[in-house]
Amino acid sequence: MNKHNPILNIRVVLSHTTHPGNIGAAARAMKTMGLRQLYLVKPRHFPDAQADAMAAGADDVLRDAVVCTTLDEALHGVVFTVAMTARVRDISIEVKTPREAIPQLLQHAASHPVAMLFGTEMSGLTNEETSKAQLLVKIPTEPEFSSLNLAAAVQLLCYELKMAAQNDLQVTPEIQPASHEQLEGYFEHLERTLLEIGFFTTQNPARMMQRMRRLYARARLEPDEINILRGILNVATEYNARLRARYQEEMKNVPEH
């Protein structure tokens, strides 16, 4: 029981898994999301070289895996179990999507061991196995092609756990937007430059600047980027002035006809 990290109280229970590669891939999927407790109910082949290969570095999870002969053994001490299903049965346990079910599981995991239960590759869980769960989870799929790879289903549930666990902790870093004055300074500079290099001779300046404002509003410019863009404007103006001077100089030397 881990009081500080609920994720560590969550068991992944794989029942009667046929292909050892799927056990290894499930271990890898768990470890990417911070889960460590793997329980295997009568796996056909385990340990196995194929499991090791697919674990791709999650060999600690495989090494610590608990091999059980019954599901009851694997669920010993667990207070809340969600069971995967690919079909909606007529039995009366509630069926939810992973997104609905996982927060509930996580809540229980804050204080007790809990489990996510997965059946065999071909036929999933038996009704008897399913009946030991408190909640059924159905991953939304295309009705005519609904069977996920076992490890892919484990990955998806572990990901939902990770997302739910960090929901209130972390926000992805936003960009550092430039200030109003920095933006206005840029637009003023842009308009002046476009006038200087002769862009507005064929364009309506006000309308064009509106379009530029709209474009850069979507980009939400950062102060650094404004510096770069203004640097380009400066160089373009210098270049243009230099060439224009040369052009006019040469034109002057052309004898008039």
Please give the DSSP secondary-structure letter assigned to residue 197.
Answer: T
Smallest distance, Å, CB 160 to its own copies?
9
Catalog residues that contact its own copies under the rule CB under 8 A.
25, 28-29, 31-34, 54, 56-58, 94-97, 99-100, 139-142, 145-149, 151-152, 155-156, 159, 162-163, 166, 172, 175, 194, 196-199, 203, 208, 211-212, 215-216, 218-222, 224-225, 228, 231-232, 235-240, 242-244, 246-247, 250
Smallest distance, Å, CB 44 to its own copies?
18
Closest among 140, 164, 139 to 154, alpha carbons compared: 139
Smallest distance, Å, CB 247 to its own copies?
5
Q: Residue 62 or residue 74: which is nearer to its own copies going by CB?
A: 62
Smallest distance, Å, CB 68 to its own copies?
25
Q: Residue 40 or residue 54: which is nearer to its own copies going by CB?
A: 54
Smallest distance, Å, CB 73 to its own copies?
28
Q: Residue 97 or residue 131: which is nearer to its own copies going by CB?
A: 97
Q: Residue 69 or residue 172: which is nearer to its own copies going by CB?
A: 172
Q: Residue 51 or residue 54: which is nearer to its own copies going by CB?
A: 54
Smallest distance, Å, CB 218 to its own copies?
5
Q: Residue 76 or residue 211: which is nearer to its own copies going by CB?
A: 211
